[in-house]
Structure 1
Amino acid sequence: MVLNSDDAAASGPPDARLARHQQPFNLLRWFSLVSLLIIASVAAALGYVSTRFVVNDSVERDAMLTAQFIQAMAQAEVRHARIPATVTMGELLDPRLDALHPGLDASVVADARIEFLDHVEHLPDTLLANVYAMDRTIVWSTNPQLIGRKIEGDDDLDESFASRTPVSASYHKAADEREEQQFEREPRYLFIENYIPMFDASGSQVVSMVEVYKEPQDLVRRIQRGYVLIWSSSIIGGVLIYLGLFWIVRRGAAMLASQQRRLVASETFAALGEMSSAVAHSLRNPLATIRSSAELAHEVASEPAQKNIADIIGQVDRMSRWVRELLVSLRPASDEAEAVDLLGAIDDALASFSGQIERYRVEVMVNTPLAASVSIQPMLLTQILNSLFANALEAMPKGGRLGIEVTPEQGGRQWRMVVSDSGKGMSQQQERMVFKPFFTTKQGGLGVGLVLVKRIMERFGGSVSLTSREEEGTRVSLIFNVAGGDHGTQHPAGRGR
C-alpha cells in the first residue's frame, strides 16, 4: 500500500529542526534511576540504624541486668555470711586487704569471697571474669595466668572507676593488644565486656571492679533474628514503595506523552488549517481558470497536443483534490454519529474505483456478513474508504489482489474491517511513521490521508492499525463501534466476490 501520510520533516523552520534533534526529557527513565538510588539509600540507612539500635539497646540491657545481678549477689553473700553492714563485698574482694578488717573472722571473709566468686565464675555464657583492685591489679580471674597482672591504659576500666557506673561494650573479635582478653575459648559471634563497680559501705567510693566477658547465646540468636527481620522489612518495603511509585509515574508519563502527542497534533492541524485556508484562497480560482482554459484548448488542439493538455487537466485535478483533502482533514468534526451501512459504503467506494481496478487488473476479494451497521458519519466513512482503497490500488499498478474482510469483535459490540493488498509494502521504519502528519511514500503525495483516517476513527471511539512487509503487501485493520442494537452475531452468513 502506498501511503498518504509526508516526509517534509526534513525541511521546515530551523527552530523546529533544532527541537527535533534535542533529546526529550525521559521522565520514566530518570525516575527509575533516581528513585531507585534514593529508596535504596534510605532503606539501607534505616536498616543500618535499626540494626545498630537493636544491638546497642540489647547489649546495654544485658549489661545492666548483669551488673544488677552481681551487685545484688554481693549484698546477699555478705548478709548470708553474717558480716556487718559496715563492710561490703567490694571491700573483701582484694585478699591483700584482709588485715584491714581485724574485727572479722578471716575464714568467714574467705568463705564469703570464695562463694561470691564461684557464682561469678558460673554465670551463664561467661567467657572470662576478672576482679580488679583499686590499683588496677587483677586479684582474681577465671584464667589463673592473669592473676597479679596490673592493667594500664584500659579506658573503659578507668571510666568505670571514675564515673562509678557500669560500663559495657560489644566486640566481634578479641583484641590482641588487650592483654586481659585471654579467653579459654574463642567467641563465635558477639561478646560483651561488662565493668561492674563495687562500692564501700558509704556507696561513694569504688573499692574494686568486677569485669565479666559474656557471649550471650540467646541474645545473639535474638539479634540475628532481628537482623533478618529488619533487613527483610527494609528490602521488601523499599521494593514495594519503588514499584508503587514506578507504577504511578509510569501511568503519569504515559498520560503526559499522550497529551503531548495530542498537543503536537493539535498544533500541527492548527498550522495546517491556516495553510490550507491560504492554499484554498490562493489556488482554487487559478486552478479553476487553468482547467477551464485547458478544456477549451483540448477541443481545438491537435491530436499530439491533446495528450499534453490532458496531463495538465489531470495535474490540476490532483492539486484540487489536495486542497479538498486539506480542508476536510482540518474541518471541525462533529461527534454526533449516525448508523451507517458499512457494506453499502464499501460497495459505493469500490464502484467509484472500478475504472482504476479494471485498468490495473486488480482482483477484489470481499468477505463480509449480510449486514453491518457502524456508528460514524457517512461522509467521513466515505473519506476513510476512499483513502484506503486509493492507497492500496496505487501500490499495485501492475496488478494484484485487494482483500476486504468484515468480522464481528467483542461479542458483537464492534466490527473489524481489514483492507489488505499485495503491493510493494513498506519497511519497518516506514511502518512506524505511517500515522505521522506529512509523512508519505508517494511521489507527489501530501501526507494527510492516513492521519485523517486515524483522526476520524478515534473521534468515534474506534481505532486503526497497520502492518506491512516489503514485497508482501500491507494490511490495515479498522475497529468500528456497532450502531444501535446491531450485533455481528446476528448475521452469521457471509457474502463474497
Structure 2
Amino acid sequence: MPIVEQQKMPAPDKPAADHKGWNQQFNLLRWFSLGSFLIIAAVALGLGYISTRFVVQESIERDSILTAQFIQAIGDAELRHADITPNRSMGELLDPREKNTWPDVDPIAQSAARAEFLDHVEHLPDILLATVYALDRTVIWSTNPELVGVRIENDDELDESFEMKEPVSTSYHQIDEERPEQRLLREPKYLFVENYIPLFNADKSKVMAMVEIYKEPIDLVERIQRGFKVIWLATVIGGAVIYLGLFWIVRRASMLLQSQQQQLITNETFVALGEMSSAVAHSLRNPLANIRSSAELAQEIASQSAQKNIGDIINQVDRMSRWVRELLVSLRPMNDDYETVDLVLVIDDTLSAFEPLIKRSNVEVRFTPRSVPPVVSQQVLLTQILNSLFANALEAMPKGGVLSVDIDSPTPGHLRMTLSDTGKGMNKQQQQMVFKPFFTTKQGGLGVGLALVKRIMERFHGSVELTSQEQEGTRVCLNFKVATGGEYGAQHTAGRG
C-alpha cells in the first residue's frame, strides 16, 4: 500500500545541505573517539612510566639505605667489640698500610675488628662484588682478589661519592666493560645495584674510606616486576574505563544533537512549506468548491456520454480538496492536549466512510472489532491518520485485494494496530525514504502523508513502523500508549458515543 504518497517535489533543501556539510566538516563522535583515545593513551602511558620509575627508584634507594645503615652499624659494633676507643672510626682503621698510624689503637685489636667487619661485608645477601677504597682511590680490600692494590682513576662517580658526604650514593645499571672496578664474581640475571657507602672519621667531618657494594637484589627485582604488572594493568583498565565512559556520554550527546538537528530541519521544512502553501491552499479552496458545484449541476443535465468526464472532474476536485485539507492539517501547530480515544470506534468510522470506495475497488476488508482499552491521541488527528493510511492502501490495490486490520497488545500499557494490504508494495530504497516529507511514489502525490502520520504518532508518545515487499504488499504498525484513568482522567474523552 504505498502508505507513502510522495513524489520528488522540491522542498526547502538548504537546511539539509547545511546539515550534510556540517557532518562533513566536523563529526563530533569520530573526532572525540580519536582525540580522546590519543590523549588518554598519552596520559596513561605517562602516568604508568612515572609510577614505575618512582617505584623502582624508591625501592632501590630504600634497599640501599638499609644496606648502608647495616654496614655502618656493623663497623661501630666491631669497634665496641674490640674495645677500640670511641675517638676512632672503622673508616680510619680499614687501610692496612696505616696499621701503626694510630698510637691509641692496639694493632691486634685493629686487625681483628677490620677482619670481622670485612667478613660481614663479604657475606651480605645478594652480593656480586664488594670493594673498599682508601682516600687515594686504591682498592685496599675486595671480594675479587684481582682488584686489591689497583688504583682507580678518572671515576667520576667514585670521586663524587667521596666529596658528597652522603650516607649512600645509589645507581642501577648493566655491566660496563670499560670500567675496571666492575669485575663481578658472577653475571647478574637482570641488572645490578651499585652502592657507594662512605665511612667517616669519628667526628663525621671527613670521608676516610669508601665501601662499594655491587648487589643483585633478586627478591626486590621480583617485587618490582610484580609492581610493574599491577601498575600497568591498573593504568590500562583505568584508561579504558575513562575512555569508554566518556565515549558513551559523547555518543549519547552526538545522537541527541543529530536528533535535534534533524528535528530542526524538519521544523524548518514545515515552516517553509507553511509560508509557501498556506496562501495557495486557502486560495484554492473556494475555486475548487465552485468547480465541484458547477460540475454537479452540469452532471444533472449532461448527456450519458458526458457523465463519465464530469465524474472525473468531480473526483479530481475531491482529490485536490483532500490534498488541501491534508496540507493544512500537517501545517497546523500541535497543542499539548490529548484525549482518550476509542481506537476500535475510530476504525469503524473510517471504514464506514471508505465503504463506497472499498466496494468500487473490489477490496475485501478483514477486521474483527473487539474490546480494547482507550489510547492516548486526539480523535481528529487519529482520524486524519487512518484516512491517509486507508486511502493509500486502497490506491495500492486498484484491481482488488485484501485489507487486514488487527489490534493486539505487544507489551503492557501499549496497543498495536496493524494495517496490511496486498498491493504493489515498495522497494528498499522507497522504504528508507518513506517518512521523508515531499517524497512520494505516486504521480501527482503531495508527499506529506506518512510524514504527518509519524509526526502525530510521536507527538502522543507512540510510533509507526512500515515493512513492505514489492508485488506482495505493505504492512504498517501504529503503536499507541494506553490511556489509564488516573493519568488521563483530567483530559477529554473522545470517540465514545
What TM-score do the two structures reach when normalised by structure 1? 0.89
Contact 2:12–2:269, Cα closer than 8 Å, also in 1 = no
Distance 1:372 1:88 in 2: 102
Contact 2:197–2:210, Cα closer than 8 Å, also in 1 = yes
Q: Which amino acid aligns with 1:19?
A: D
Match of 1:170 in 2: 172
Distance 1:376 1:334 in 2: 11
Match of 1:460 in 2: 460
Q: Which amino acid aligns with 1:392?
A: A
Match of 1:38 in 2: 39
Q: What is the Cα deviation at residue 63 of structure 1? A: 1.4
Match of 1:22 in 2: 21
Match of 2:376 in 1: 375
1:110-149 paired onto structure 2 within 5 Å:
110-149=111-150
Contact 1:8–1:438, Cα closer than 8 Å, also in 2 = yes
1:320-399 paired onto structure 2 within 5 Å:
320-399=321-400
Distance 1:239 1:330 in 2: 48
Q: What is the Cα deviation at residue 12 of structure 1? A: 4.9
Q: What is the Cα deviation at residue 394 of structure 1? A: 1.8
Distance 2:472 2:114 in 1: 103
Contact 1:3–1:442, Cα closer than 8 Å, also in 2 = no
Distance verdict in 2 for CA 1:4–1:14, change over 3 Å: closer
Identity among equivalent pairs (%): 62
Q: What is the Cα deviation at residue 456 of structure 1? A: 1.7
Residue-pair matches, total: 483
SS of 1:22 mapped into structure 2? helix
Q: What is the Cα deviation at residue 383 of structure 1? A: 0.9
Distance verdict in 2 for CA 1:129–1:316, change over 3 Å: same
Contact 1:409–1:416, Cα closer than 8 Å, also in 2 = yes
Contact 2:7–2:443, Cα closer than 8 Å, also in 1 = no
Match of 1:77 in 2: 78
Q: Which amino acid aligns with 2:44?
A: A
RMSD of the TM alignment (CA)? 2.6
Moved more, 92-101 or 118-127: 92-101
Moved more, 153-162 or 18-27: 18-27
1:379-458 paired onto structure 2 within 5 Å:
379-411=380-412, 413-458=413-458
Distance 1:132 1:301 in 2: 133
Q: What is the Cα deviation at residue 449 of structure 1? A: 0.9
SS of 1:437 mapped into structure 2? coil
Q: What is the Cα deviation at residue 443 of structure 1? A: 1.6
Distance 1:306 1:76 in 2: 132
Distance 2:359 2:373 in 1: 27
Contact 1:200–1:207, Cα closer than 8 Å, also in 2 = yes
Distance 1:424 1:137 in 2: 105
Distance 2:401 2:183 in 1: 96
Alignment deviations for residues 243-275 of structure 1 (CA, whole Å, 9 cap, x no partner): 322232233233333332332232222222222
Alignment deviations for residues 430-485 of structure 1 (CA, whole Å, 9 cap, x no partner): 22222222222222111111111122222222221112233332211112233445
Structure 2: which 5+ runs fail to align? 487-497
Q: What is the Cα deviation at residue 102 of structure 1? A: 5.2
Moved more, 105-114 or 125-134: 105-114
Q: Which amino acid aligns with 2:367?
A: V
Structure 1: which 5+ runs fail to align? 487-497
Distance verdict in 2 for CA 1:303–1:65, change over 3 Å: same
1:229 aligns with 2:230: yes
Alignment deviations for residues 129-177 of structure 1 (CA, whole Å, 9 cap, x no partner): 1111222222211122222223233322121012122210122x32222
Distance 1:363 1:183 in 2: 101
Moved more, 82-91 or 438-447: 82-91
Distance verdict in 2 for CA 1:481–1:15, change over 3 Å: closer
Distance verdict in 2 for CA 1:7–1:222, change over 3 Å: farther
Match of 2:190 in 1: 189
Moved more, 84-93 or 14-23: 14-23
What TM-score do the two structures reach when normalised by structure 2? 0.89
